[in-house]
Structure 1
Amino acid sequence: MKYKVIIVDDEYMIKRSLYKLITESEHGFEIVGEAEDGQEALELAIQKLPDLIITDISMPIMDGLEFIRECRDRQLPCEFVILSGYGEFEYARQALQSEVTDYLLKPVRTEQLDNVLRAIRNKLDSKRKMVSDRSVWLWYCKTIGQRWACLIWDLDEKQIQAEMASAYFRYIEQTSDIVQFKHLCFELLMFIQKELEQCAGKEVRGADFSLFQTVSDPLEAWRLLEANLMNYVRDVRTKRNHGAFQGIKQAVAYIEQHYMDEDLSLQSIAEQMNMSLSYASQSFKETAGVSFVQFLTGLRMEKAKELLHNSNCKTYEAAQAVGYNDYPHFTKTFKKYFGYTPREYRKRMGFD
């Protein structure tokens, strides 16, 4: 892929010379526009969004330095190289203070331009790689952030620490730059906190993200991330009724083992867990995210669907196997859950 260049100069021969040298160079640049003054160049830059602008300093209407300032004010993400004569050194010095990448002395020599283009090509390649790496990292942050938020919500400290150890060694190989690595940790923590806030509301305290500014090496940044995750775990443990949570986890395991029992009810679960019916109902919904009836129905329907994958299993047999002796009720519930009846599902599978 080639990088886009705009040439800005009010001297025709200078522009022709630069055009020829740049298009014939081996560094992968292409000219996408030319301008004679800063005002014309500004309009062209906004339209073309070049990667590199080579501009003269002394031009009518709007000079080079003013043009560069206007581009910076508009946050155009391009590199600048200025053209200057020997008598314009003070202007060149001011330009370099304005975040200009380099300068070229007139008349421009082929070797000088080649060196500048090579350096800028390397810089642009690095910026593109950083953007690509950041995209990959953001995808990872979203994915792993959801995973670790679930582990925090389940208070699974051992698994969190195991996965963090693995992730650290995998990502420290990709970047040893402390500034970039701090950003990675910062963004991962933000994703995790957002995920927790969705399932826990305001039950978790907000992390102190400013502390990342004080760390001086990647390991310290990672330990700060880990410390914040453990704070989340403590908050979740403190602000929820952990005993009830463990009881509901046992209840879920019990349901998964006895879902085929037609008489299974929340009352029997509450008695099994030594809880009141109302407390069991409230705790179950808070922990599982759905009511007991919704959970049991969903489990039974998914199990029935698995059984219907077997061509030798009759639909009424599947109903009885998941706790429904009333076949019409089973058919109605199955259709409400999946959008089609058991027989329609079997036809889709090609069994009937």
Structure 2
Amino acid sequence: MIRVIIVEDEILSRIGIQSLLEEQKDIEVAGTFGFAKDALEYLKTNLVDIVITDIEMPEMNGLEFIREIRKQELADGIIILSCYDKFEYAREAIALGTDNYILKQDINEENLMKAICEVREKISGRTGERRRLHSLDEIPADETDIKAVGVIRLEQDHVDEKMILHLLDGIISRYHMGSLIDSYNRNPFIVFRLPASVPKEERKRILGDYIEEIQKNILQYTNKHLLMGISREFRDMQGIPAGYQEADEAVEMRFYHESISVYYSEDICWSRETPEFMFSTKSFMEKSGLEIFEKELNQFLSTCRRKQIWVKTARDALSQAVSIFVYSILKEYLYDMAIVRRWSGKYPFVDAVTTSASCTEVNRKVQELIGQFKEALTEIFEEDDFGRILSYIDKNISTGLPLEELAELGNMSISAFCRKFKDRMGVTPVQYINQKRIEKVKEMIKKSGCTLGEIAAAAGFSNENYMVRVFKKITGKTITDYRRDMGNVKF
């Protein structure tokens, strides 16, 4: 996209040229002006590729205007509009650095586009000759300046990367901000140069002005802010690699604060501590299950944001927690390990965590997937009587759970129910119920202050002696040994 402004005091001529250019898809008319002084003020704060200007204008004529453009380096290309009887002015304008001219009586779409294309070729070559850095060795050494590295992250939906770098090069050169480095194996970055003679707060203000100027000009082309990470200040050239690392890591803060586009390393203190976190599975298949999951997910992400947990660490911890959660749910409710393994890979939970650009995106994607996961699991339970029976056992583990009652739930005889149960689960109903009761016993052993009788009653055993025998049979340990292994105090 070529940004053009038109400077012409004759309004009909100005509108005519604008209408011809606005039909071209690769050209943007950034502004039109009737006075050169107004155009000059605009150029001081906005990036423009080509200026199309008349020579004879009130207050400031075209020659003075062109002289100021070249003196202040306000635009790369200049095209003048001339008349036959004013051609001497055109010659003088060309001597001042004009790139092309068009006779007013010859203005039409073809001639105008031809002139712009010729100027585009000229300024493209000129840009190539400009100091454009590709390695640290090419930066002019000046140890008297204070420096800071600004790493640029180009988002995938930005316009062409080469165009962005071209714009950056022009902005940085025009305002003498420092040096642009476009290296093939890393993000492009700027080495900002700041005067050492002014206080740090003033340097910070200057740096802020540089960044604001970059963002403002880039916005005119892409309608998006650039993501930038800014390092701490340093003086020696040897500090550039460390400054790059600081600035590159600072941009990672976008994961937690996506509404910000510039991230300062000095404001960030990353923690590499791995947060201990697990989702609770106990009530997931109940009505409130999704709400509980969403609340725990929000709490985890909020904690990571508050503690400034390093993004990769947070992603890894969340990926692991979601994977364990899903596997535990499947193992608890499906039981068939072949089905568990198939379901474990059915939903891209880990991809959602590792590829999302922000907390908000992670939250939304994971919640959507978990909702789909629960919905599909619920459908299986509704279609399969065993899902209903297993859920009933879980909810009533502390009661007697007679086989007649369970068989009735499945609309089967006791013998048919027991046979089908063992075919499906691999164990008899009694063995399965005892396994679930022992899980309850283990859970209560972890709590101090419970007697064996209280534990037996809560787990649905008829008496504590029967519970002790079943516990030893299933776990291979006595309750005393298990409690000791758990580090609990004796009753």
The question of a shared fold, defined as TM-score above 0.5 by the shorter chain, is answered with no
Relative contact order higher in (CA < 8 Å, ≥ 6 apart): 1
**The structure with more helix, counted as a fraction of residues:** 1
